[in-house]
Structure 1
Amino acid sequence: MRSSVSPTSLLDDGGVKRADALAVASGIPLAELVQRAGRAVAEVAATGLANGARVAVWAGPGMNGADARVAARCLAERHDVSLFAFGSGEGDQPLSAFEEDRYDLVIDGLFGIGLQRPLDPVCTEAVRRLAAGGSQVLSIDMPSGVDAASGALLGAAVRAHRTVTFERRRVGHLLMPGRAQCGALIVADIGMPPDIWNDVPSVADANEPRLWLAALRHPSAAGHKYDRGHAVVFAGPVEKGGAARLSAMAALRGGAGLVTLAAPREALSGLSAQVTALMLRGCDAQDDFDGLLEDERFNAFVLGPGFGDAAKARRFAARIIEANRAVVLDADAITAFGEAPEDLFRLCAGGTGGDVVLTPHGGEFRRLFPDIAGDGGLSKLEAARAAAARPGAVVVFKGADTVIAAPDGRAAINATGTPWLATAGTGDVLAGIVAAQLAQGTPVFEAACAGVWMHGRAAEAFGPGLISEDLPGALPQVHAEIAALRAPGGG
């Protein structure tokens, strides 16, 4: 684990307790921290509420409940507040008396990050009643019933419209299904001393520009296209050429200076009718392939999208890795090793230093890592970490909560994307964007993280109705956003 200096850091229960203890040791009484947190909840809750609004507050027995009680007192100055208590502590009414009665807002302060068991019957029934109604819901720290360490649902769980947490996010805020239960996430500053974060352990990071911006290669005013690398995307038969074209166009839009589509010669005429800025190169015989590897200007490869031939994919993958070239193995290149994943792991472990990125979706992950995927005790974060350690490669475990893990234990959970990414070809685009960062010389973990973030951000920028072909065209807007962040004073 590393320290939680960066706001991208994600904490577990131990990290939160450590931060609280260090804040208290610095001279801030615990009661004052509770007051600050409760006032922050009230401030978020009051947004959009008219004076006199009806607010129900659920207060549990722990720190979460203490925050809720402070929020209730603050809100009672302008609103009609009903407090429902569960466990120790006084309240207007017991939680069992809660009836969904179209409150303007319900504040869920039952349980926060420490919950590790299903809700008891009284809480479960209250959650059921809440779900049956139409009230807006604001959860404190974590929707009750969600495991903050994994995002797993422990049984019945609150589905919030908004969740307010403090200072740093938790893993369960970004991992599904907890991510969906949180709704809009607000991170409130409650005045923790900045220097305490040097001694607070972080379990992972949110994948955001602050994590990788300093390592990201970017075009310079004095540079030329060859400075930005030359990516090669291998294509298969012409009838599957769309996947490789998507990947290649994404590599070009993603920042690579040049991109070549290497394809069987019989497929070249079909590909040439649909590409302009991309170069084409015939690649049939072993000599064709060897020629590519002999030219050191080709410095990043994508193998898998629409490739088809499993035996050929295994052969190509082995030679690329042995030649110490950066490569993104996706789709058919992953499937090609599905019957013998240990062959791929030996290749990666025995390579001469080339950067390998594996980009499996859930089904491909299960084929490569059946024992890790079958361990129901592992979160997606833990599974990705274990997977990356096995071959010594960066693993991009795709999904609505994509996790990027490096062999050295670093890991990040992506914070961008939309449900519209769940459509054919978006994974091919992702492979190309990651390859573009590798071609420009960005270190492999940061290249994978940046590519995943850019992919999701492009989807957000385009909006509803997205199909995979729209993503490359949305990347200039993403590059502009990154450039603004890199500018002096850009954050």
Structure 2
Amino acid sequence: MFDHAILRTRQMGQADAFAADSGVAGTTLMERAGRGVAQAIMARYAARPTLVLCGPGNNGGDGFVAARHLRQAGWPVEVFSFKAIEDLTGDAGWAASQWEGPVSRLDAAVPEEGALIVDALFGAGLSRPLEGEPARLAKASRERSCVTVAVDVPSGVQGDRARADGPSFLADLTVTFHRYKPAHLLQPAAGQCGDKVLINIGIPEGWHGEAGHCAQVNGPGLWTVPGLEIEAEAHKHSRGRLCVLSGPAGATGAARIVAQAGLAGGAGFVTLLCPPSALMEASTASLAVVTKALSRDGSFAEALEEAKADCAVMGPGAGLGETLRERVLSALGREMALVLDADALTVFKDDPETLFEALHARCVLTPHAGEFDRIFKDLRENCENRIEAVHEAAARSGAVVVLKGPDTVIGSPDGEVRVNVHASARLATAGTGDALAGLAGALLAQGASAFDAASAAVWIHGDAGRRMGAGETAAELLTRLPGALEALRRQRAREAAMSRLTPCTAPPADH
């Protein structure tokens, strides 16, 4: 349980303390951690000259253990220590005492081309910039063609803030322990970590009651997806009715992408509500999408009622103005499931409190960073990281908030936060965010909760993005969604089949 948990550095310390209180010695955890670092290195790289840079604390202790295991495997290893080994205390002092080779001062370390550097200087808890010899070595490791393996996080990177405020190591591989920290998942720090390996060091069950978590890594183990398996008696109206607000003529493209993604996401009936001037243009969205003229002066809530909408998506390409603002508030008054994106958020930039007062728990907001900043002013700037910013935004708005990006963060008003890194940089192109809004709307229309619909939509959208090839755009993304959904359906079917299997037992012996 809690396999998806993300821990702040303080929470990781509490998990370590729980292990100690449960009778697991700190030296045991350190031995497992250092051995795991060495094994991860040997699984990926051929033996080569290796410089192990050990800091003054437990991170350095992990480095001493890793050096010992690498040398025992025949690797040429040199160890350099920030502190004289006679000054090391606690578990780090024990680890240094187990190393039988020479130990040099840090200023004697000179990374050579092609060498492997084990950065075991400072862990995720460092809260100040590197200086002196660690800063020199961070710079030198970047300038030479070295392989750099970081222990816990690259030194100089702050584990909770997920960034470096000064010189820092750039890792090819980062080996961390027990659970991921924000720096392993949030940019820009995640990019500095390179490939990441998570090592189980044997912290006993029950640690979560002591430490808790700040977020979870988003994935299929956290939610279900309606419509993956369709019941025999299902029909189009039972599978959810989704309405999408279109922009005016010449600006219907975004809404058409939303509608097509809604169909791919399983909504049984999708209607584009359009200004009369856009009706002909919007009708090209899909043969399966219904278009309906929307009177400028008519009640938008009544239009949704007439369409028997289970969910509506508003904002993409809708155009800014008082009409959109009134329509959003009108739809919110119905307390139906809603996805608000793009213009439906920006239209409230001068008065976000009016939006927050009208929002409810069945709403999903899907801003990119700029839109987030317009309605949650200064929140990202004043929060420690994106996890904290989204946590605060969801609490403030009373809705599910999806802050889009390479590390999309999903927050629920009840305080739970999920971080999605299952995605692709190929999604950084116009229209893909509209597809996400449509997919979330489809899942909401089929009955998923707002938090799970948002979380599942983000993961499936990311999986479809991973299937995109060079040069593909939002149009091709729409064609990748069915494959992503089918792969998830098959995965669920395999898991269900495995759960039904029971071990065979021998028949009772005859007497």
Q: Same fold, TM exceeding 0.5?
A: yes
Contact 1:165 1:188 in 2 (8 A): yes
| Residue 74 of structure 1: aligned partner | 69
| Residue 59 of structure 2: aligned partner | 64
Q: CA deviation at 1:205?
A: 0.9
Q: CA deviation at 1:489?
A: 5.5
Percent identical pairs in the alignment equals 38
Contact 1:49 1:104 in 2 (8 A): no
Contact 1:232 1:262 in 2 (8 A): yes
How big is each residue's C-alpha offset from its partner over 1:72-124, in whole Å with a ceiling of 9 and x where there is no partner? 11111221112121135366322222223123422111111211111122111
When the two structures are aligned, how many residues end up with a matched partner?
A: 480
Which residue, 362, 371, 376 being the options, matches 1:364?
A: 371
Contact 2:426 2:468 in 1 (8 A): no
Q: Give 1:59-138 correspondences, 5 Å limit.
A: 59-77=54-72, 78-89=74-85, 92-138=103-149
Secondary structure of the structure 2 residue equivalent to 1:249: helix
Gaps of 5+ in 1: none
Which residue, 15, 26, 37 being the options, matches 1:19?
A: 15
Q: Give 1:143-292 correspondences, 5 Å limit.
A: 143-213=154-224, 218-222=228-232, 223-287=234-298, 289-292=300-303
Structure 2 CA distance for aligned equivalents of residues 260 and 203 of structure 1: 39
Give yes or no for the alignment of 1:455 onto 2:461: yes
Which residue, 24, 27, 33 being the options, matches 2:29?
A: 33
Residue type of the alignment partner of 1:136: V
Q: CA deviation at 1:185?
A: 1.3
| Residue 477 of structure 2: aligned partner | 471
| Residue 484 of structure 1: aligned partner | 490
Contact 1:310 1:336 in 2 (8 A): yes
How big is each residue's C-alpha offset from its partner over 1:35-69, in whole Å with a ceiling of 9 and x where there is no partner? 1111110010012333x422221111111111111
Residue type of the alignment partner of 1:462: M
How big is each residue's C-alpha offset from its partner over 1:164-217, in whole Å with a ceiling of 9 and x where there is no partner? 11121111211111111111111112233234344331111111111223x756
Cα 1:88–1:178 shift into 2, 3 Å:
farther
Contact 2:228 2:485 in 1 (8 A): no
Secondary structure of the structure 1 residue equivalent to 2:465: helix
Runs of 4+ in 1 over 6 A off after TM superposition: none
Structure 2 CA distance for aligned equivalents of residues 301 and 36 of structure 1: 52
Contact 1:55 1:103 in 2 (8 A): no
Structure 1 CA distance for aligned equivalents of residues 182 and 309 of structure 2: 38
Which residue, 311, 325, 333 being the options, matches 1:300?
A: 311
Q: CA deviation at 1:288?
A: 6.6
Q: CA deviation at 1:295?
A: 3.6
How big is the alpha-carbon RMSD for the aligned residues of Structure 1 and Structure 2?
2.0
Contact 1:254 1:472 in 2 (8 A): no
How big is each residue's C-alpha offset from its partner over 1:197-240, in whole Å with a ceiling of 9 and x where there is no partner? 44331111111111223x75644333333232111111111211
| Residue 10 of structure 1: aligned partner | 6
Contact 1:208 1:415 in 2 (8 A): no
Structure 1 CA distance for aligned equivalents of residues 451 and 309 of structure 2: 20
Cα 1:12–1:370 shift into 2, 3 Å:
same
Cα 1:158–1:246 shift into 2, 3 Å:
same
Cα 1:87–1:470 shift into 2, 3 Å:
farther
Contact 2:300 2:330 in 1 (8 A): no
Q: CA deviation at 1:14?
A: 2.1
Structure 2 CA distance for aligned equivalents of residues 19 and 464 of structure 1: 43
Secondary structure of the structure 1 residue equivalent to 2:238: helix
Secondary structure of the structure 1 residue equivalent to 2:44: coil
| Residue 391 of structure 1: aligned partner | 397
TM-score normalised over the length of structure 1: 0.93
Residue type of the alignment partner of 2:35: R
Q: CA deviation at 1:490?
A: 6.5
Cα 1:278–1:142 shift into 2, 3 Å:
same
